[in-house]
A and B are shown apart, each in its own frame.
Chain A
């Protein structure tokens, strides 16, 4: 199949970027989208041009490193997948595919399609953990956790930190990401002692990083590869309110 990739090229954070078109005519439908970009890059090398910089690692939908805005949607035309799980069979022969980096002020562009998502790490740094020093744990079954509670914590914990929620949000809000981590830890008995402080610290850092506020459009949960529900944000807000009163 033949497609035209219309790709955002930007050499470094300060240079002005722009779209460049690349026609690739020998793609197969069962190639993944990232493999199609690999293929384009091999062509570019042989043409003595710089390759398109894009991110990936595991290529099985779990590491969260890949993330491209494709035809105006985070991770491409399907809901709830990562970019590496997108296959060329999702496009028509002859299609023009617009390929952009995540767009958010808090995720500055480093080069081409690569952005800096270290803001997420800093949110985790501010309370996205349980203070449990190695060697201090009690016997695991000494604290019982009902299957319902544990399953719900797991639903929230499933976040892979790809940033699609931010990229797709019109406010570039990191509310879904932050809420998922808060709810994962705060719903478990082990997370309770630091629960209030965690909500306050993590949300403060989230704002400090320049992410926008949530206005409940629900766009994030459509693109989240792990299908994390927007209900998590409402729960975070409730926890925030409680922490303000009782914390």
Chain B
């Protein structure tokens, strides 16, 4: 099968306009005859649901949380990028496009990445109009700061709560349309499978998490906006409920999965302190604007941070990457931290952290300024660790964070299943092998508000003449039966180990072999080990309670069963890519200085995996670089 990304013709600057000029339209009277399901209510899901409803479609929106406002978009602290060039520092759509493409180590499509940059500026207008209280200068204009991997100030922010404020805006627009009776919202509902009829996505089956009822929902198109899957590592910066089940089920129903091994390890999370830990809290990357990262030059130095004199500190990012310094991109900063920690320079109780120090920033900019920029982050840090970071440096450590990989989508954000779309973090589109800071909120928003509502019509126009499908269709009955059996099977194991026991085991393997650095032997071993975990899970897991009630153990078990399968695909993908690029660092492919070695001749493609009854078949979408020449990514 040849996969076609359907990139519009023309110059880079004209592609999106050319696309819109040719895409089919639907008249307002007909739009209300069309139903769209949106799974997920984060920035992309809520944005899409609200906008589709404004356009006139009938929308059903789903989330597993108690309210649409909880989606994990809220956790993004630092900001959202936009090529406004308000700082007059040489920014432009082109530069933002290039930074993003380069940040992703030239493993994303030029056309998609350019569109992301192009639509960033109107997005800031949009959010401002919706009442997002972005940070401002005294004169009343919007303020900016910088983020990793760039040398201009293009990041907009709302204190340390940017994600929360953007999501509240999207959520408020969603509820505006609920009030207008154009969206039906289903909270505490989890999608358990996709229903594909005659090759087209026609609905979903969801479990009502309050009473366990399986419910059938039919639509003319299904949009997945279900976020990232880095909880496969168990310990991550994600919310505990974040999962990969919706996209995994879609994958098993025929949607190709792209670049599953491209997962980002964030350099500035709080370190793990114990086995029982459930979560690694993220400290915004924006802290790297003012904080300086260092470790003691002496191995195993037991002195307190403040007692280590300046000349005995190794500001290793500034040393290795003088032009970007502490603002080196995430993958590079994480790997550099791992290198120092592995070499015995780690700090903290488990020697698994590095320092992030604000002493110089406070001396230079003043305590007041630093407080104005980061007060809530410092407060959060104190709540969790009991340490006052105005007085002594923070301890930070790399943690599993964003998944660049996801369902393969074309330029219209449609998967390989006609009528099934994937938007936001759950797709693979714009970030290549590594995402730049503050591009996540951007991509989710742009996908949901601006792109999908302008591409879905191209598909739905043809669906108008199709005969409607009923929830009594045999395919719904068949899939519902399969889900019931799957749930019964989990209860029937009645083994001796908890779900978390298996999740911890899976997480350890993935963190060891498929995180910051990977190698052939390790990945092969990991696949064998994960398959053993799968066997052990189905032979020995124990879930108490029953299906017809709130059962958080059952929810966890269902999600973990999918994570285990996804983990195999992630390792398989990492194994086939015999090069280092972005967050995917294969130990066999590095320079003498430990920098990544990319193999453009062979690997300038997007890996797109097709599910074949338990095994995976690789398809390659060749990446053609017509407008920029891929260069060696240097931040020195």
Contact = CB atoms under 8 A, between A and B. Distances in A.
Contact of B134 (A45, A121, A150): A150
A58 B74 contact: yes
A29 B136 CA distance: 41
Interface stretch (A49-57, A167-175, A213-221, A237-245): A49-57
Given A28-B274, A124-B171, A146-B138, A132 B165 contact: no
Contacts, number: 222
A200 B126 CA distance: 26
Interface SS, A side: loop
A53 B212 CA distance: 14
Contacts of A146: 136, 138, 140
A125 B282 CA distance: 31
B294 interface: no
Nearest to A148: B138
23 contacts: A34-B278, A45-B498, A51-B545, A57-B70, A57-B239, A59-B278, A60-B237, A60-B279, A62-B164, A63-B75, A64-B69, A64-B70, A111-B549, A114-B550, A124-B171, A125-B179, A128-B172, A128-B175, A134-B126, A134-B173, A147-B137, A147-B140, A157-B168
Interface string A146-186: 11001101100110110000000000000000000000110
Contacts of A38: 276, 278, 500
A124 to B, nearest CB: 5
Nearest to B501: A42
Given A46-B496, A51-B545, A85-B384, A190 B137 contact: no
Contact of B240 (A45, A59, A139): A59
Among the interface residues A53, A140, A145, which one has the most CB atoms of the partner chain B within 10 A?
A140
Interface stretch (B30-38, B60-68, B436-444, B510-518): B60-68
B552 interface: yes
Interface in B130-175: 130-131, 133-142, 158-159, 161, 163-165, 168, 171-173, 175
A112 B169 CA distance: 32
B72 interface: yes
Contact of B125 (A12, A87, A139, A145): A139
B544 interface: yes
Contact of B549 (A11, A64, A121): A11
A18 B67 CA distance: 27
A184 B142 CA distance: 17
**Shortest Cβ-Cβ A-B pairs, 7 listed:** A144-B140, A129-B172, A137-B129, A154-B133, A137-B125, A59-B279, A140-B128
Contacts of B140: 144-147
Contacts of A41: 552-553
Interface residues of B, number: 82
B267 to A, nearest CB: 17
Nearest to B161: A158
Interface of A: 11-12, 28, 30-32, 34-35, 38-39, 41-42, 44-46, 48-51, 53-65, 81, 85, 87, 89, 110-111, 114, 116-118, 120-121, 124-126, 128-141, 143-147, 150-151, 153-154, 157-158, 160-161, 184-185, 188, 190-191
B239 A63 contact: yes
Nearest to B494: A48
Given A65-B70, A140-B142, A185-B131, A121 B175 contact: yes
B111 interface: no
Contacts of A54: 552
Contacts of A184: 131, 133
A176 B450 CA distance: 34
B260 interface: no
B95 interface: no
A129 B54 CA distance: 14
Most buried by B among A49, A54, A81, A129: A129
Nearest to B141: A141
B322 interface: no
B94 interface: no
B131 A137 contact: no
B51 interface: yes
Given A45-B498, A50-B544, A121-B175, A134 B50 contact: yes
B67 A140 contact: no
B549 A129 contact: no
B24 interface: no
Given A59-B279, A134-B50, A190 B130 contact: yes
A188 B125 contact: no
B303 interface: no
A81 B122 CA distance: 36
B544 A188 contact: no
B500 A42 contact: yes
Contacts of B171: 124
Interface string B257-284: 0000000000000000110111101100
Contact of B67 (A39, A45, A120, A157): A120
Contacts of B276: 28, 31, 35, 38-39
Given A45-B543, A120-B67, A129-B176, 10 more contacts: A12-B549, A31-B277, A34-B278, A38-B278, A60-B237, A63-B75, A65-B66, A114-B66, A161-B69, A188-B131
Most B-side CB within 10 Å, residue of A31, A64, A138, A157: A157
A162 B277 CA distance: 23
